[in-house]
Amino acid sequence: MKPNYKDGELMMEGVKLSTVASVIGTPVYCYSRGSIEAAYRGYENAFVPLANTLICYAVKANTNQAVIGTLAALGAGADVVSEGELRRALKAGVQASKIVYSGVAKKHGEMEFALKAGIYQFNVESEPELLALSKVADRLGLTASIALRVNPDVDAKTHDKIATGKSENKFGIPWRRVRAVYRLAGSLPGIRVQGIAMHIGSQLLSLEPYRAAYGRLAEMIDALVSDGVQLDSIDIGGGLGIRYEDDQPVPPEPAELAAMAHECLGHFGGRLIIEPGRSLLGAAGVLLSEVIYVKSGESRDFIIVDAAMNDLIRPAMYDAYHGVTPLQAPSGPARNYDIVGPVCESGDTFAKARAMSEVKAGDRVAFMDTGAYGAVMAGTYNSRLLVPEVMIAGAHFGIIRPRGTYEDLIGLDSSWDEVPSVKEVREA
């Protein structure tokens, strides 16, 4: 997202971000409700004309109740990967009939919870999972509607850690096993075969991997139809990238993805499911932080801010780029800085040799495009308090998650002397 300055102040909708930083303190995440809604409408306008489309927000990108609730109010379904995410989606108002449950390691208890909730679809990723689901559903006297998530062995040309559609990745049913596993699924109690699913990776900046994957998927569907399998839903996953950096390629628009899905898969009819995460939330959020010190090192200058890798792990984990911009419009000549946090690891670096106009202690900055995979991946490493979240709508802002407290941080631990129930185990 391009920084939006008005009268020298960085704005989000009608709110000066410096006001949020002053009132709430830093670090703090801020999300624009209007941007989230606009991004969702972008998908709706692109996909809904294809008829019978379900947009399932991949809640892993940002699980705050206010965020999920904003999308649920617009009619979004949800893609969840754990009982925790399923509970969050239901609590935020997503209808169970619009929820798909993905993930390679669903446990029996999680399956039971989802079956009782009456979700729309389990995306099953392996034969052992299929057998387990059949067992759980049969025991409960319920039926699990399933899609098999297939692995098309396509290179999504994204960061290795977020590519999911290659044969060496842990995801999906291996291509050569797919027809046999559908046969197995058709024979199991408690299982109703409903669809097919795929997700090849995240932060895709080109349509080509989708073209390859959808083409393979179409061939597989043809084969399954000739095997007599009836497929009512095709889940094409999420993954459209966003523009983090000016010199990166412009990512495809939802409309281009929709056109390609229509071209490759439209003739099968049935329900099309799409699971966007990053492209709904990424550009809608910023992380505000204060400069604690500016330090001149031997060979470089450091801006040390009060946000750290525990608040935003993407640079450390994926070498990800995030724009950094001051809350007061930059002035003066630019210099190169390394922008780092307080955590005691050299990996706690947000940017290297980044050109910024001169900053001083007490100035505040925004890390741009951090609405997706920011707060959700935060932790408390180095005993830092869990970062708070704020939502902005028009001229209003509200705290949607307060900053953690030292009581939260320490209070769940017990010293050995205070352990409530020490169990003695006598070895035989």
**Catalytic residue numbers?**
344
Q: Which of 165, 190, 238, 254 binds ligand LLP (CB under 6 A)?
A: 238
Secondary structure (H, E, C), 105-148: CCCHHHHHHHHHHCCCEEEECCHHHHHHHHHHHHHHCCCEEEEE
CA distances from 22 to 18, 25, 27, 324 (A): 6, 5, 11, 18
Q: Please report whether residue 237 would count as binding ligand LLP according to CB under 6 A.
A: yes
Q: Please report whether residue 322 would count as binding ligand LLP according to CB under 6 A.
A: no
- Other CB atoms within a 10 A radius of the CB of residue 211 amount to 14
CA distances from 28 to 311, 343, 410 (A): 9, 17, 21
Q: Please report whether residue 277 would count as binding ligand LLP according to CB under 6 A.
A: yes
Q: Which of 31, 43, 122, 373 binds ligand LLP (CB under 6 A)?
A: 373
Q: Which of 96, 162, 229, 294 binds ligand LLP (CB under 6 A)?
A: 162
Q: Please report whether residue 120 would count as binding ligand LLP according to CB under 6 A.
A: no
Q: Please report whether residue 203 would count as binding ligand LLP according to CB under 6 A.
A: yes
Burial, 164: exposed, middle or buried (Cβ in 10 Å; 0-12, 13-18, 19+)? Answer: buried
C-beta of 204 vs 212, nearer to ligand LLP: 204
Q: Please report whether residue 202 would count as binding ligand LLP according to CB under 6 A.
A: yes
**Whole-number Å distance between alpha carbons of 169 and 41:** 32
Q: Which of 28, 79, 90, 213 binds ligand LLP (CB under 6 A)?
A: 79
What tokens does 348 get?
């706690």
What tokens does 171 get?
């995801």
Q: Are 204 and 210 in contact (CB under 8 A)?
A: yes
What tokens does 176 get?
């050569």
Q: Please report whether residue 239 would count as binding ligand LLP according to CB under 6 A.
A: yes
Q: Please report whether residue 102 would count as binding ligand LLP according to CB under 6 A.
A: yes
Q: Please report whether residue 251 would count as binding ligand LLP according to CB under 6 A.
A: no
Q: Please report whether residue 199 would count as binding ligand LLP according to CB under 6 A.
A: yes
Residue located via tokens 């999504």: 156
Q: Please report whether residue 318 would count as binding ligand LLP according to CB under 6 A.
A: yes
CB of 318 to ligand LLP, least distance (A): 5
User: How many binding residues for ligand LLP (CB under 6 A)?
Assistant: 20
Chain residues in the site for ligand LLP (CB under 6 A): 58, 61, 79, 102, 162, 164, 199, 202-203, 237-239, 275-279, 314, 318, 373
